[in-house]
Amino acid sequence: MWRRAAEGPAPLDGVDVLLADLDGVVYTGHRAIPHAVESLNAAAASGIRVGYITNNASRSDAVVAAHLAEYGLPVRPEDVVTSPQAAMRLLAGTVPEGSLILVVGGEGLTTEVERAGFRVTRSADDGPAAVVQGFAPDVGWAHLAEASFALARDRDGNGIPWIATNTDWTIPVARGIAPGNGSLVAAVHNAVGILPRVAGKPETPIFTEAVARFAARSPLFLGDRLDTDILGARRAGIRSAHVLTGIDTGKQLIAAAPDMRPDFLLEDLRQLAEPYPVVEQRKDVTIVGTARVALRDNRLDVLADGDRRIDLLRAACAAVWNSGLAIYGLDIPPRIYR
């Protein structure tokens, strides 16, 4: 007779700072994601500091805070950590204070460059000390060309530093998925043959900035993308929760590489405060809640769907992740991840 698997602490238990990605976690397009706002406000009401991390370099922290406030989140600019702010950490240790910086990007980036005491130019002819590149919807060929001219190396391979706020290949917008800053950085890379230092997720500078700003001792990061959010949190040594309201779905989670596996899987943010089921292994059977799967030969068999769909996905992920087997060699029933 099978019984329900045991439950452990809630994901929020013991957390002093909750760090949330924005697109796919708090909102999508122009709409707040169901249960996100009330769940984040409830966490704040319980005494947990809530901060927000974004790779999007096109908006300043003040603009992001005002946007979040429209959804009913009491957010101040200092609660928002942006990739341009993390880029300034890198830049400050690279060129002298007050240096002239060629900026490829929008207001969110120029605001931080000037706030950090640097001067802004848009032309390689001005002899900039470094190039900082971030996403903005109006970045075009001429801007990328100026960056390429400024970054050209001499015969000995010498040149100026290049810092990218982030390298997300895509960015979700109201009409769908569009090229992100990583695609624009790649265009410059193809022209100059070098790679930038990167400040945003999945690199650690943006997490370092957040932990330092909020004096976090036991943070939890919320994300919806494995290759930026979860990978970045793991690199920074921060526990992570993946919420299934954004980019990566159950199919990607089951196939996740070891360095992209979150500590918690959530359907929505209400589950932050709910006891998290313990994974139980009984021979070849993996049990989460009332869901049960068995990995036999090269097939994952569903023995019981359970009373919550998320528990079936949690069980499947645990079974596959603990097996050490390559995902392409396994037969996974589609109903697990649909």
Nearest Cα to Cα of residue 326 among 277, 255, 269, 268: 255
What's the CA gap between 256 and 130, in Å, rounded?
A: 36
The catalytic position among 13, 16, 21, 168 is 21
Please identify which residue in the block is written with the tokens 């300034």.
Answer: 88
Of 228, 262, 256, nearest to 243 (Cα)? 262
> Which residue, among 266, 246, 281, has the nearest Cα to 311 in the 3D structure?
266
297 Cβ neighbours under 8 A, 6+ residues apart = none
For residue 76, give the nearest of 68, 86, 84, 88 by alpha carbon.
Answer: 68
Decide if 268 is catalytic.
no
The catalytic position among 13, 16, 23, 138 is 23
23 given a catalytic annotation = yes
> Among all residues, which ones are annotated catalytic?
21, 23
